[in-house]
Chain A
Amino acid sequence: MTTAAPLLRRPGVVLGIRYAAAIALTLFFDFPIYWLFIISFKTPDEIFHYPPVWYPKSIQFANYGVLFKDGDANTVLNSLVLAGVSTVLAMLLGTICAYGLVRFKTGGENLAVWIISQRMMPPIAIVFPIFLLYVWFGWVDTYQGLILLYTAFNLPYVIWMMRGYIEDIPIELEESALVDGCTRWQVLWRVVFPMARSGLFATSVFTFVFAWNDFLFALVLTRTEVITYTVQVTHYFGGQSNFWAKIAAMSVLGTVPVFFTVATLQRYLVRGISMGAVKG
């Protein structure tokens, strides 16, 4: 008589359970996103329908059309400008600062600690004083105001991350360049930046996404000129009824770019969001 192996020991069973769990989790985490996307393609009838329409008869782009016609879609452009420029600035200034910290230990421990502590600053605490300051400068609702703010807010992260990447560069490469004919600045552009390419790339994506997804700063510091897509979405909230279609479409417009960029950066995802704690 053969004894059957206990249920859990049979190889296929555990795998099967794991797959089932994986699928259930994926459903839980991705359904709301699916729902959001789907709404943006539905007709008003399909949106306000009971029982719910799980998938629409056909993909309608009418909702998007409205956004573009009204000029609301321009807010995505605003977000692009703000996030893009501030990312470039933060990467540039942050990387050379990180270089100083790593190779010259400028400012020593104290400077490094102070810079990191800036990352811990709660936005709500500084947004108000910044607001007062900007009122004084006349920078409320301007591009430069928010660009400066996003740059400042991203600098600690960039410095922190690039420090790790720069430490990984063999110093002989820089020394050889110095002897061969480079000034210190040339060493930065010709050796350090190329060698840290992958780190630059990964960090810039996270920096960009952070600025792109910001809401609080944009809420406080924009009025009519420089509205970002995040603020625009909230314009469609209503006490009694929401502009469902617009909320969904606007959100999708603002989200697809992020999905796209993150998808291309799978490899660096873990290192990036854990602030380098794990070298994923």
Chain B
Amino acid sequence: MADLKITGLHKRYGPVHAVRGIDLEIPTGEFTVLVGPSGCGKSTLLRTIAGLEQADAGSIEIGGRIVNYVRPRDRDIAMVFQNYALYPYMNVYDNIAFGLRARKTPAGEIDQRVRRAADMLGIAGLLDRLPRQLSGGQRQRVAIGRAIVRNARLFLFDEPLSNLDAQLRDEMRSEIKRLHREIATTMIYVTHDQIEAMTLADRIVLLKDGHIEQAGAPLDLFERPATRFVAGFLGSPQMNFIPGELTESDGLPRARLGDGALLPLPAERRSRYTAAQGRPVTVGIRPEHMARAPAGAAADGHARLDVTVELIQPTGSRTYITVALGGKPVTAEVEPHDVQKPGEAIVIDIDMNRAVIIDPETDRVL
């Protein structure tokens, strides 16, 4: 039985239609990430699941029970907020115990559960400190501890790492992933950061303008995006989008770029492209699917092009170069020492097996 099932959910704030008809089903134990640009409705969706907002239409079922009109406290959920929401006038122990006390849990049981949660998160030594005496990472752990201690069916995370600095964020990300492995509770996690989404999720739900753009396993979305938006949202640096035209030659589908370059497309996709033959399309190629051509012939499905290096941006482990492809500036990822200086002429190898073709009118991937 699914732990969470949403059907036809709508939420409006005055003229703004924040959530437009969302259907979602999340099986037990899965880690689902709701991700998308700001304003896409992910936080609204989460808050509606939590009961902090009332849906205008549609139903929310938790554990098979319709909870639209059930109080947040009775929905069997726990939530971790972006700003930790720790009570400044209570110490760590009392903060974690807060929910249990509100439900009149016996003191002995409270103590047991609080200490177990604190141990799990490595904050057992901080139990009598006040929030203002804790670091950002520690506060976040306390907030998580407060959620764990209630043994809820559903865990909701509202951008919990946004307030932490980069290094701490990496650390906490691993913590959360480890936590999920340990307690195996269904978790719904909201973020705008696609790296968090990719690394944490069992399943990503990518939202745009209040509806689900695509949902699936992270690699599914990454390798087989359904729309241009999905293709561009995941992956850093962003996928390159080059205008071109679909054509055929020798019975094989090809993409012709603005400057005449002809790129091969996988033969097995031929049937997908027949309808769009001769029409303008957008070719999507990820920077990491390009490389400085090694010695030897091009592999099957790979294209070789002569380009001039316009810009070089080394990051240490990888170097990003800007070249012109089809008349447009395109980012390619190469080994650190593959290029020396701008203006250099090199041969680029593109793995066209991984490329996507997008219909510019519908923005859907063909």
Contact = CB atoms under 8 A, between A and B. Distances in A.
B69 interface: no
A179 B157 CA distance: 12
B50 A179 contact: yes
A13 interface: no
14 contacts: A172-B81, A173-B85, A179-B77, A179-B78, A179-B99, A180-B78, A180-B146, A181-B100, A182-B73, A183-B71, A186-B102, A190-B102, A191-B87, A194-B87
B46 to A, nearest CB: 11
Nearest to B158: A172
A208 B73 CA distance: 37
Interface residues of B, number: 24
B102 A177 contact: yes
Contact of B81 (A175, A181, A183, A190): A175
Contacts of B146: 176, 180
A182 B51 CA distance: 13
Given A172-B83, A175-B52, A176-B79, A183 B73 contact: yes
A180 B87 contact: no
A178 B51 contact: yes
A180 B99 CA distance: 5
A195 interface: yes
Given A180-B73, A180-B78, A180-B150, A170 B83 contact: yes
Given A170-B85, A172-B85, A173-B87, A180 B98 contact: yes
A197 B90 CA distance: 14
B73 A181 contact: yes
A195 B89 contact: yes
Nearest to B88: A195
A176 B84 CA distance: 9
Contacts of B98: 177, 180-181, 190
Interface of B: 50-52, 71-73, 77-79, 81-83, 85, 87-89, 98-100, 102-103, 146, 150, 156
A181 B102 contact: yes
Given A179-B77, A179-B156, A182-B99, 20 more contacts: A170-B83, A173-B85, A175-B72, A176-B81, A176-B146, A179-B51, A179-B72, A179-B78, A180-B98, A180-B99, A180-B146, A180-B150, A181-B99, A181-B102, A181-B103, A182-B73, A182-B102, A183-B73, A194-B89, A195-B89
Contacts of A191: 87
B240 to A, nearest CB: 40
B71 A178 contact: yes
A175 B85 contact: yes
Interface residues of A, number: 18
A104 B103 CA distance: 25
A254 B344 CA distance: 92
Contacts of A186: 102
Give the interface centre of B50, B73, B103 by most chain A CB atoms within 10 Å: B73
A178 B83 contact: no
A190 B73 CA distance: 15
A178 B99 contact: no
A183 B104 CA distance: 12
Contacts of A181: 73, 98-100, 102-103, 150
A9 B89 CA distance: 51
A27 B318 CA distance: 78
A134 to B, nearest CB: 42
Nearest to B52: A175
Most B Cβ at <10 Å: residue of A178, A186, A194, A197: A178
Interface in A174-216: 175-183, 186, 190-191, 194-195, 197
Nearest to B90: A194
A191 B95 CA distance: 11
A173 to B, nearest CB: 5
Nearest to A191: B87
Contact of A179 (B73, B89, B100): B73
Nearest to A197: B89
A170 B87 CA distance: 10
Q: Which 3 A-B pairs have the closest CB atoms?
A: A180-B99, A176-B85, A181-B102
Nearest to A184: B71
A212 B88 CA distance: 34
| Interface-centre pick from B82, B99, B100 (highest chain A CB count, 10 A) | B99
Contacts of B81: 172, 175-176
A178 B87 contact: no
A178 B72 contact: yes
B48 to A, nearest CB: 13
A170 B100 CA distance: 22
A144 B316 CA distance: 79
Contacts of B51: 178-179
A180 B77 CA distance: 8
A177 B72 CA distance: 9
Interface in A143-173: 170, 172-173
